[in-house]
Amino acid sequence: MYKRLLVALDNSPYSEACSTAAVSLAQAFGAEVIGCHVYAARMHERRFRQLEATLPEEYLADKELERQRTIHDSLIALGLQLISESYLDTLERRCQETEVPFSRKTLEGKNWQRLVEEINGSRYDLVVMAARGHGATRSDTVGSVCQRVLRRTRTDTLVIKDTQIFQDGAGRGILVALDGSQEAFGALEAALALGKAYGRPVEAVAAYDPYFHYAVFHSMVEVLSEEAARLFRFKEQEQLHEEIIDTGLARLYQAHLEVAQRLAQAQGVSLTTTLLTGRAADEVLAYVERTHPWLLLLGRIGVHSREEMDIGSITEHLLRFAPCNLLVASRRVSPPLDLWSASTLRWTEEAEAALGRVPEEYRGALRLLVQRQAQERGHTVVTASLVGEAMAVLRPRPEETRRMGEAALSVAVNALRRQPGMVYLCRACGHAVRGQRPVTCPVCRKKGEDFLEVDPDTLEGTAQGQGGIQEEQAFDGTILRWARAALGQLRSIPDPYQRSRARLRVEKEARYRKIPVITLEFALRHLPEAPGTQRQAEHPSRAEEAGP
């Protein structure tokens, strides 16, 4: 799960707890620890120059001032680096005692900025950092460095707020908050791994707010005029939310918890679940304060956030006010489609009937496609129209079927004409088999008894009757294979100069892309400027009728 851990240290009280947590996690997961400290030599250099005017008079002579600058710059740069190394020495000794692989990094510059650059520029699985550092004030629950790093990185980050938790915390469990987002399921994945590694119980909570709409409607009563309320259909809207939406929200969030239970069961982890009602940030915080978990895990953003959002509002609220350590997960995890569908997705009777009309051998693939489309679009109910859209994806259009048949026939002719013997041809897709009649077609699953029995000469004649393939010599003598319909389209261009230029353009593109056969659709994509092509593109059947 976590193989490379970056630990940000500054020798503050929370920094020691970060070292303890990092060594513990490294032992649990067999990970490497990278200790990091950022020092700001240039900032001290600038500050010294700003204070030079306050020096005693004897130091303000040119030579003496230059000498003082040199001494200060040297001492500051070297001194701060030595201090940084000493911070990391302590962690290195702890890693050596526990046989944990260790390496170090000392960086110069602005602390949060250099940390962000290091995290984004390297492959770390987890960042361990303190919620507060030396510069935090009494009222700060989370320092500015921690906030700025979290907002600008996309690596799982453990924020240490309880300095004793990795030293004891016996019996306290792991709590993960779910809202159905991919980041929340990423947090669940981390929670299950931590539960197995530390032998701690894991609990998932989800919170929905059935009271939100009541508050909204109550406020609307005071501002809507009688006419506006009538047009808005205020009473009907209020009833809709009470009877359908609030109940649906409860079922939706309960489904997220059921998916989490199935995921945990598949990994051999016992997971308890709790559904909370009320404003999510407040309810999860209250639950944390009641249960005192060993660790709280959250997704970086929630289900309503766009991916480019830096941090979600609920995660930010809990980061500030939750009294326990937090792990903010940025990894994105989608539950297996079958688990998600079993808990979340419902099919209407019409949808099930539409699926039942599909041949049995295709139902499994179609059901999976429908489920995937429903998940991508956020649907929780499958309708017959959604099944129809999926069927359209699986079932090619008639013109596509015809062209695939032509291609299959042409390939069969070229492959089989070199060898004598009887050929069996699938009536549906054009797949050809030599020697022995197949039981079923490996392409379209039609029964073998329906195959046509033909010899190669008859097969070639069938292909030519459907358009066929014609070999043409390119400008440099290379032989290219053209579909007759494509040649007909090309030769319909009346101007010889334009026709020659169009042919060169198509041939060069076909050779560059290593196209085995120049089809009509390929030719049309590369003849947009040629006179007459628009008319032919609208009536491809005319191009097929055009001879060489």
Q: Which amino acid is at 206?
A: A
Mean pLDDT in residue range 532-547: 38
The pLDDT-based confidence of 532 (bands split at 50, 70, 90) is: very low
Q: Which two tokens stand for residue 267?
A: 């990994």
Structural domain boundaries of the chain? 4-329, 345-394, 398-465, 469-545
Look up residue 244 and give its DSSP letter.
Answer: I
End-to-end CA gap in the chain: 64
Would the pLDDT of 23 be above 90? yes
Closest CA to 25 of 324, 299, 295, 323: 295
Query: How confident is the model at residue 96, as a pLDDT?
Result: 94
Q: What percent of the chain has pLDDT over 90?
A: 31
The pLDDT value given to residue 408: 56
Q: Per-residue confidence at 375, pLDDT binned at 50, 70, 90?
A: confident
pLDDT tens string 285-341: 999 999 999 999 999 998 888 888 999 999 999 999 999 999 999 999 888 777 767
As a whole number, mean pLDDT of residues 425-447 equals 71
Q: How far apart are CA 44 and CA 4, in angstroms?
A: 32
Pairing of strands 432-434, 423-425: antiparallel
Q: Could you tell me if 379 and 390 are in contact, meaning their C-beta atoms sit under 8 angstroms apart?
A: no
Tell me how far CA of residue 138 lies from CA of 132, 203, 319, in angstroms: 10, 32, 17
User: Which residues, listed in sequence order, are joined to residue 35 by a DSSP beta bridge?
Assistant: 7, 104
Q: What is the pLDDT of residue 241?
A: 58
Locate all alpha helices (DSSP H) within 417-539, ordered by sequence: 456-465, 484-491, 496-513, 520-525, 533-538
The more confidently predicted of residues 337 and 31 is 31
In the chain, % helix, strand, coil (3-state, to 5) comes to 55, 15, 30
Residue 473: phi, psi to the nearest 5? -90, 130
Whole-number CA gyration radius for the chain: 35
Q: For residue 109, how far is the Cα from the chain centroid?
A: 33
pLDDT band at 537 (very low <50, low <70, confident <90, very high): very low
Question: In the prediction, which pLDDT does 459 show?
Answer: 45
Bridge partners, residue 32, by sequence:
4
pTM of whole model > 0.75? no
Assign a CATH topology to domain 345-394. Helicase, Ruva Protein; domain 3 (1.10.8)
CA 187 vs CA 328, 336, 510: distances in Å: 7, 16, 49
Read off the pLDDT of residues 162-187 as tens digits, 9 standing for 90 and up: 888 776 666 789 999 999 888 999 99
| Angle of CA points 489, 491, 492, to nearest 5° | 65
Among 200, 172, 205, 173, residue whose Cα is nearest residue 188: 205
CATH pick for 4-329 out of 3.50.50.60, 3.40.47.10, 3.40.50.1000, 3.40.50.12370? 3.40.50.12370
Residues 256, 262, 268, CA angle at the centre, nearest 5°?
Answer: 135
pLDDT tens, position by position, 487-499: 878 888 888 778 8
- pLDDT for 175 equals 97
Strand ranges (DSSP E) for 53-162? 102-108, 126-130, 157-160
Q: pLDDT category, 510, cuts 50, 70, 90? A: confident
pLDDT recorded at residue 542: 36
Per-residue 3-state assignment (H helix, E strand, C coil) for 164-216? CCCCCCCCCCEEEECCCCHHHHHHHHHHHHHHHHHCCCEEEEEEECCCHHHHH
pLDDT band, very low/low/confident/very high, at 449 (cuts 50, 70, 90): confident
313 class by beta-carbon count within 10 Å (0-12 exposed, 13-18 middle, 19+ buried): middle
Residue 148 has pLDDT above 80, yes or no: yes
Cβ pair 246, 213 in contact under 8 A: yes
Residue 192 to residue 197: CA distance in whole angstroms: 9
Higher-confidence position of 264 and 83: 264
